[in-house]
Amino acid sequence: MDQSALKEYFQIAIRNLRTRSLRSWLTILGIVIGVFLIVSLLSLSEGIKETITKQLKSMGGEMIFIMPGSEASPLTMMMGGDKLEKQDMAAIKKAQGVDKVLGMSYAGSVMRYKEESKNAFLAGISWKESLDVLEKYQGWSLAEGRWPLPGKKEAVIGQQVANQIFSQKLRANTEITIKGRKFEIVGVLNSLGSKTDDSFAYIDMDIYQSLTGEKPGSAQVAMVKIEEGASLNQVAENIKTSLKETRKRRIGTDEADFAVITSEKMSDIAGGVLGVIQFAVVAFASIAIIVGGIGIMNSMFTSVRERTREIGVMKAIGAKNSAVLSIFLFEAGIIGFAGGIGGTILGAIAAKAVELYGQAHPVFYFSASVSPGLVAFGLLFSFAVGCLSGFFPARRASLLKPVEALRRYE
């Protein structure tokens, strides 16, 4: 290709696009939509992935989680459902290799401070049994104040509750109302590493259960710290077996409707689910871009037909095939690239808007991750689609014989 003249051909291409600007913009719009979908959805799902990974990390390494629902469908775990009964908790505790079992229950709850009522999470934790595990293995620490005493209406709150949710900052030794009862905030936690975890107020399990009507001794989820030197997977198996036996004795079925998951497996599951989501996102958005590409091809073929004579003239006055090819390829490539820029900008804006919405509604924390790689991908992909879909029309134009091109429309 004659490189020296590429700049000129590029300018001519721009000129040609400008003269049919409405058509050019409409064609560009087709690409914008596809790239918009890719950038916005991928950056959101990437953000969710990061948030979840961070949260899993904050849960600590060598732990086993027991949650209601089935392992096969992670969504039921998140939704909750059945609770771990007192017997179940006992079954977990007696499984071989289990050092400590921490039961925890939680629910969304309205909290009132002075005249303000806000939504946050409320969790029950048995301070007596859990505190040292939380401190040693989960990295819990206090930014100020002290830990609540078992059996007292005292709470520690996460960073979000302390600093973000209420218009005033909450400090230790203030009083808030939770579910109509007065609690004293005795401490503020350092950040636990995820916004969701930081949006909790943690109170004593017994008080939580009397407040919510949950049966004493049961829990929604349980975390297990294994004995020193035991194998994580083996202990998980032991817990499963033990739980099954108990359940069989109690309600006559050994179907597992609890999921026993190691921290490793949890990140695998989360990663797998998000992988599928991202794959679907890319697949659908690619279809949108391909449709946009067909739009480019259509528009370029029309343009070649309309400008047949022009092509003939260019060839008569000395244009090589490659010159004509370059001009038409540039036109298609520019359409694709412009669509890519538009789509990327709109996609990034949309992703950030969703993120802001999420921050304003604390139940819905995640960040959008518009990575440079994603931006580069969006731009390159759309440029490539433009060039690819412009190739056949451009080739047709470049191979026109001058005499035929000139004769056309005479």
Partner 1 sequence: MELILKLENVWKIYQMGKLELAALKNVSLEIPPGDFVAVMGPSGSGKSTLLNMLGCLDFPTRGKIFLKNKDISSLSQDQLSQLRGRTIGFIFQEFNLLPNLNALENVMLPMIFQKVPFLERDKKAREILNSVGLGSRMLHQQAELSGGERQRVAIARAFANDPELVIADEPTGNLDSKTGKMIMELIRDFQQKKGKTVIVVTHDPEVASYSKKIINIKDGEIAINHQPSWTSQP
Nearer to partner 1 by Cβ, of 17 and 385: the residue is 17
Quick one: CA torsion of 54, 59, 64, 68, rounded to 10 degrees? -80
Q: Residue 363, exposed/middle/buried by CB under 10 A (0-12, 13-18, 19+)?
A: exposed
Count of residues touching partner 1 (by CB under 8 A): 27
Q: Extract the tokens encoding 168.
A: 């005033």
Instruction: Please give the residues from 320 up to 339 whose contact with partner 1 meets the rule CB under 8 A.
Output: 320-323
Rounded to a whole number of angstroms, the minimum distance from the CB of residue 329 to partner 1 is: 17
Nearer to partner 1 by Cβ, of 16 and 194: the residue is 16
- Can you tell me the distance from the alpha carbon of 110 to that of 112, in angstroms, rounded to the nearest whole number? 7
Instruction: Please give the backbone phi and psi of residue 88, each rounded to the nearest 5 degrees, phi first.
Output: -60, -45
One residue of 19, 22, 252, 373 binding partner 1 per CB under 8 A: 19
Cα 265 to chain centroid distance, Å, stands at 19
One residue of 12, 273, 349, 384 binding partner 1 per CB under 8 A: 12
> What is each CA distance from 344 to 85, 199, 279, 378, in whole angstroms?
50, 32, 19, 7
Instruction: Please give the residues from 349 up to 408 whose contact with partner 1 meets the rule CB under 8 A.
Output: 401-403, 406-407
Please report whether residue 146 would count as binding partner 1 according to CB under 8 A.
no
Rounded to a whole number of angstroms, the minimum distance from the CB of residue 25 to partner 1 is: 16
- Can you tell me the distance from the alpha carbon of 404 to that of 410, in angstroms, rounded to the nearest whole number? 10
Q: Extract the tokens encoding 141.
A: 């620490």
Nearer to partner 1 by Cβ, of 309 and 395: the residue is 309
Rounded to a whole number of angstroms, the minimum distance from the CB of residue 24 to partner 1 is: 12
- Can you tell me the distance from the alpha carbon of 219 to that of 102, in angstroms, rounded to the nearest whole number? 9
Rounded to a whole number of angstroms, the minimum distance from the CB of residue 22 to partner 1 is: 15
Instruction: Please give the residues from 276 up to 315 whose contact with partner 1 meets the rule CB under 8 A.
Output: 309-310, 313-315
- For residue 374, give the amino acid letter: L
First to last CA, the chain: 31
- Can you tell me the distance from the alpha carbon of 187 to that of 185, in angstroms, rounded to the nearest whole number? 6
Rounded to a whole number of angstroms, the minimum distance from the CB of residue 20 to partner 1 is: 9
One residue of 1, 8, 110, 227 binding partner 1 per CB under 8 A: 8
One residue of 22, 283, 317, 360 binding partner 1 per CB under 8 A: 317
Residues that bind partner 1 (CB under 8 A): 2, 4-5, 8, 12, 15-16, 18-19, 309-310, 313-323, 401-403, 406-407
